[in-house]
Structure 1
Amino acid sequence: MNERDTGINFSFKRNDTVGAADAEADDTYLSECFVETGDLAVLQDTTNAKRIIVGRTGAGKSALIRKLKEVEEHVIDVPPQNLSLSYIANSDIINFFESAGVSLDLFYQLLWKHVLTVELLKYKFKIHNEAQKQSFLASLTSVFRRDHSKEQAINYLREWGEKFWNETEYRVQELTTKVETDLKAAIGADFGGMKLDASAGRKLTEEDKREVVQRGKKVVSQIQIKALSDVARMLSEDIFNDPQQKYFITIDGLDEHWVEESLRYKLIRSLIETVRSFLKLTHVKIVIALRVDLLNRVISKTKDAGFQEEKYESLYLKLRWSRPQLEELLDRRIEKLVRQRYTTRPVKLKELFPRQIGKITFFEYLVDRTFLRPRDAILFVNLCLDHAENRNSVTAQIVSTAEGEYSGKRMISLQEEWGGTYPFLSDYATLLQGRPYTFRYAAINREAFEEFFYARFSHNLDSDDSVIQSASDFILNGKGTLHSVLTTVFQVFYTVGLIGIKPDSTSGTYWSFHNNDAPSLGSIKPNSFAYVHPTFWRTLGIINRD
């Protein structure tokens, strides 16, 4: 296919890209090509409650945090990997009480509050050694000599902040060791002959378990909560009280493996509670980033009787991108690529790519194959550039070749993103192979579903996976209906973005990355339509009769 005459005297070179998909590796492009969608301004406003950045993989959470560090003077980064929280996971005493049924949520919240408080004070007062710490505490003592609550706060810092200038992981170990000592003392000699670890906690009789829980709760409830509240009040009223001096703590990477899985959910839930408690500090903002799937798992795994999800909603900054914003992002990156080597004239995406693919513009074609997030768009363009070496434009044939690679890679990424929640997602997806891009639920008959079931799940029948359980109950035990099983499977497809759902002829099509609310299960009937997302047409062999 002939190349276009772009009027620009250049050709693409090997390894040309419009940036990296990951913010951590995107130094060349991220700062200069950043598009303000309004989210950065919200983060910068310390009086705005939104401080938990929520989005899918590639929506720009890390990029937003990196930009915040660029534009704000006082930003403290606390990587969870540096907290040495595996010390807690490996604590026999903690594991003993956890397995016995003692809720240690208050301890985990204290841990976060302590770490974040000390980080703030250490940063503001430049405490790097023992002398500086003593000088800082002495100055506070002289100011608040007659204020009992603030004297208590200073005593807390003196007792629990033994070495402010040490690494954060030291403070985690210091605090955990003191709590371990108190918990062990609470058991006393009554359980003296027993090795206190998780195994022993599980083997306790119901009577012993009740006694351990009662004693453990008493220790946890007495963990310096009042003193720490005094510290928070002192921070708000007397230390971080200048509206011209804003301070931020950022925590990213919570979706990585920084601690054992079940403990990670509890620690993240406690961190969310801690972030909420810091709202009282008007000029301090704790900013954390969470993937949607991880947030859902945290809520599911740590939900208790009194849990009210709506009380956290005001904290969430949910990332969403519009089509014009994505086009601006790509235009800026294309312009930078061309400008840094070839020309000073601003060059936009549409000048270097086909005007149309079929009946729509190239940009519409591209964005239809994304979840409206930057990473997808950048990856698609980069794959096109990879096949455009020594050309001065990208042809429709190159786009088609790149799309085949892109589709397969996006399916792999989908499994990686959602594997923690749906380990068999790739197996589920084979149910869609070779189908039309839109079809009714009723188009999948029992024979086809049984063939899929036995081919994919016959070796995993004892799994606690909800889809496998639902399918097993229907096929092997005659429970439920085929439609109810398909509704279960397709709800997973909808959640991860594989399909959109059109409940009936009068409603629109729901997509999980577009809508706050999913269609109600009651509205989905055998005649409801499923639409396979264009991202996956090529890898699933979807038939597009248009």
Structure 2
Amino acid sequence: MRDFEHGAEFRFRRNDTVGTADAETDDRFLSECFVDTGDLDALRDCDDPKRVIVGRTGSGKSALIRRLKEVEGNVIEIPPQNLSLSYIANSDIINFFETAGVSLDVFYQLLWRHVITVELLKYKFKIDNEVQKQSFLSNLFGGPKKDRSKEQAIAYLREWGERFWDETEYRVKELTTKVETDLKASVGVGFNGVKLDASGGKKLTEEQKQEVIQRGTKVVNEIQIKALADVIRLLSDDIFNDPQDTYFLTIDDLDDSWVAEPLRYKLIRALIETVRSFRKVKYVKIVISIRLDLLNRVIEATRDAGFQEEKYESLYLKLRWTKQQIEDLLNRRVAKLISQRYTKIRISVDDLFPARVGRTTFVDYLVERTFYRPRDAILFLNACLEQAEGKNRLTAQIVSAAEGEYSRKRLISLQEEWGATFPNLTRYSKLLLHRKSTFKVSSIDRTSVEQLYYTDFAHDLESGDRVFAAATNLVLSGNGTLLDFLRAILPVFYVVGLIGLKPDSTSGTFWSFHSNEVPSPGSLDGNSVVAIHPTFWRTLGVRVAGD
């Protein structure tokens, strides 16, 4: 019979863990403890349209790509940091035309298509010197010339393939330099004295702007996107045409600061368009991963008149975990830790931890304090193991002690995850301090908002923060109501996962990490119920019924 107060007897050492928070450093556990949720099969299937891995921080995006590399033979990696895309960001010519209002989206797509095409060819034909390049091009050029579009594709490869074996960043600079030259030449007469950089673009008159847009657009439209489309057809028909010889090209770490915003948003949008276009190459799959909040920012920042979001939905592989899958993951990691350090007997989470913490089973208690993400669960278990150093058993008291530090760090991580979208999230969260775990919207009174406003908001009103603005309208100008303010701040808490929302008595409680549905601000009123996520109870000093 299981011990409700203690887990099985083992003596834990300092630095005992069940893995690390990121896949890149999780060598000891990741491969052996990988849990296949079905997502890997979708990625490996070149006929499956899903190729953009979307998930929140810690949901397993990088782990999935790493596993793909382990099980597939032909996997090419392109780290965005190696592309030298800051060269574009620092280009005075590019900045001049961007600031003037010229859309360079076609150029950004050309850039990705060009880089990906060359990387694929370089890998397949092992092109790393001049002799191998000439041999490859001669073989292509020596074939039948009945198809004019393929002749054009080969001509394109000849024109741009002089240094196939060079590093990827060389090709980015090479292509950008050519476009810069054409754009600069297009300005020509009539713009003497205009500085060709971002500051010059801002100083143009409306008449000058229209002229620059017209000339710049003409250059962009002449970019060889048609030739590259022919290249993609050539890849599909004549090069990557063997179903027994599939290739994968992966791009991870788009979340990192590899180039400044807003250029990063435009480049990511262009990359997603490129991923779509490469679906024509049936036995090549371009796989990218992107954090959900970054994808949302990209869509908002690059949305244009013709944008149709549903066209992209089929590309998205949205990572979701169930309680059973998380438990399976933890069981594998616990078993590996114990077998490495202590015994060959297979030990599970249920064996190692007390049967219950309070009135809840340990596994339920842990999963309730996650966003159903592997990273959260691993970090919670590691926090428990850290508290257990030198002790013979894991107890409910140890779990409780570990939860305090875990809760504090999770709130910090939440700010880091969502900082680009909600830079003042930590300040917002003070509205939830010492509240009940569930409460009606009407229980938040004007006094608590005013106190928060004067202590945390009032000194930073020039930031353009929408929540600060709603608070100002309520507290100072009288142009807003308390409900207006709550309809501004509660959806933020919901989106990041701090709270769940039950809009009315007929609906259930919605959580952003479980549901795509976002309760509209208009659906919230005084009777709507807020549930603070258990992860943050300890750090926010939340009052829980029965405590």
Q: State the TM-score, normalized to the length of structure 1.
A: 0.98
CA offset at residue 516 of structure 1? 1.2
Partners in 2 of 1:465 and 1:277 — Cα distance? 38
Partners in 2 of 1:495 and 1:3 — Cα distance? 36
Match of 1:469 in 2: 469
State the one-letter code of the partner of 1:136.
F
State the one-letter code of the partner of 1:17.
T
State the one-letter code of the partner of 1:166.
D
Q: How does 1:83-482 map to 2 (within 5 A)?
A: 83-482=83-482
Aligned residues: 544
State the one-letter code of the partner of 1:440.
K
SS in 2 for 1:54: strand
CA offset at residue 275 of structure 1? 0.6
CA offset at residue 189 of structure 1? 3.1
State the one-letter code of the partner of 2:266.
K
CA offset at residue 134 of structure 1? 0.9
CA contact (8 A) 1:499 1:532 kept: yes
Partners in 2 of 1:18 and 1:353 — Cα distance? 14
CA offset at residue 5 of structure 1? 7.1
CA contact (8 A) 2:512 2:518 kept: yes
SS in 1 for 2:250: strand
Partners in 1 of 2:518 and 2:209 — Cα distance? 42
CA offset at residue 2 of structure 1? 11
Percent identity over paired residues:
66
CA contact (8 A) 1:108 1:267 kept: yes
State the one-letter code of the partner of 1:373.
R
SS in 2 for 1:212: helix
Match of 1:528 in 2: 528
**Structure 2: gaps of 5 or more residues:** none
Seen in structure 2, the aligned counterparts of structure 1 residues 122 and 364 have a Cα distance that, compared at 3 Å, is same
What are the superposed Cα offsets for residues 166-210 of structure 1, whole Å, 9 maximum, x if unpaired? 000000000000000111111123324332111001101111110
Seen in structure 2, the aligned counterparts of structure 1 residues 370 and 148 have a Cα distance that, compared at 3 Å, is same
What are the superposed Cα offsets for residues 414-452 of structure 1, whole Å, 9 maximum, x if unpaired? 000000000000000000000000111110111221111
Whether 1:49 aligns to 2:49 is: yes
**Structure 1: gaps of 5 or more residues:** none
Q: State the TM-score, normalized to the length of structure 2.
A: 0.98
SS in 1 for 2:158: helix
CA offset at residue 391 of structure 1? 2.5
Query: Which deviates the most, 271-280 or 26-35?
Result: 271-280
Partners in 1 of 2:144 and 2:153 — Cα distance? 10
What are the superposed Cα offsets for residues 313-371 of structure 1, whole Å, 9 maximum, x if unpaired? 11110000000000000000000000112211111001111110111101100100000
Match of 2:25 in 1: 25
What are the superposed Cα offsets for residues 206-235 of structure 1, whole Å, 9 maximum, x if unpaired? 111100000000000110011111101100
What are the superposed Cα offsets for residues 113-165 of structure 1, whole Å, 9 maximum, x if unpaired? 00000000000011001111111011001113332111110111111222000
CA offset at residue 460 of structure 1? 1.2
Partners in 2 of 1:176 and 1:485 — Cα distance? 47
What are the superposed Cα offsets for residues 378-400 of structure 1, whole Å, 9 maximum, x if unpaired? 00000100111223321111101
Partners in 1 of 2:518 and 2:457 — Cα distance? 27
Match of 1:81 in 2: 81
CA contact (8 A) 2:7 2:395 kept: no
What are the superposed Cα offsets for residues 11-37 of structure 1, whole Å, 9 maximum, x if unpaired? 211100000111011000000000000
Match of 2:515 in 1: 515
Partners in 1 of 2:222 and 2:192 — Cα distance? 23
Partners in 2 of 1:58 and 1:304 — Cα distance? 31
RMSD: 1.3
SS in 2 for 1:539: helix
Seen in structure 2, the aligned counterparts of structure 1 residues 65 and 521 have a Cα distance that, compared at 3 Å, is same
Partners in 2 of 1:390 and 1:544 — Cα distance? 31
CA offset at residue 462 of structure 1? 1.9
What are the superposed Cα offsets for residues 513-535 of structure 1, whole Å, 9 maximum, x if unpaired? 00011123332211100000000
